């Protein structure tokens, strides 16, 4: 989806800094960086106890993920959803 402005229910929005993102979601992520200046933060919920909202139990799904792509400390792209078995 190509949009100029987007904000999730947790307040994650395009253009926010990495520090703002981590403040909202926590530091339980895997970081991937490359030489061209892009950084990806990958969050994953794999056990019902990993989420205070009981997201996996409510959706009856095994895994939820969110990947955030940053360039020059600004959130440029986000992808999130359930992994299907």
Residue 17 — pLDDT band, cuts 50, 70, 90?
very high
Read off the DSSP letter of residue 84. Answer: P
pTM for this one?
0.85
Distance CA 83, CA 39 (A): 22
The better pLDDT of the pair 6, 26 is held by 26
Beta bridge partners of 65: 44, 81
Domain residue ranges of the chain, discontinuous segments joined by +: 18-83
HSE (side-chain half, CA atoms, 13 Å) at 27: 1
Mean pLDDT of 47-64: 83
């Amino acid at each position: 989806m190509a949009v100029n402005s987007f904000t999730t229910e947790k307040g994650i929005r395009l253009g926010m800094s990495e520090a703002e993102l981590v403040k909202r979601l926590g530091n339980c992520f895997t970081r991937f960086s490359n030489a061209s200046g892009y950084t990806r933060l990958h969050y994953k919920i794999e056990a019902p106890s990993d989420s205070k909202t009981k997201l996996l139990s409510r959706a009856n799904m095994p895994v939820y993920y969110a990947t955030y792509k940053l360039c020059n400390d600004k959130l440029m792209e986000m992808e999130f959803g359930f992994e299907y078995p």
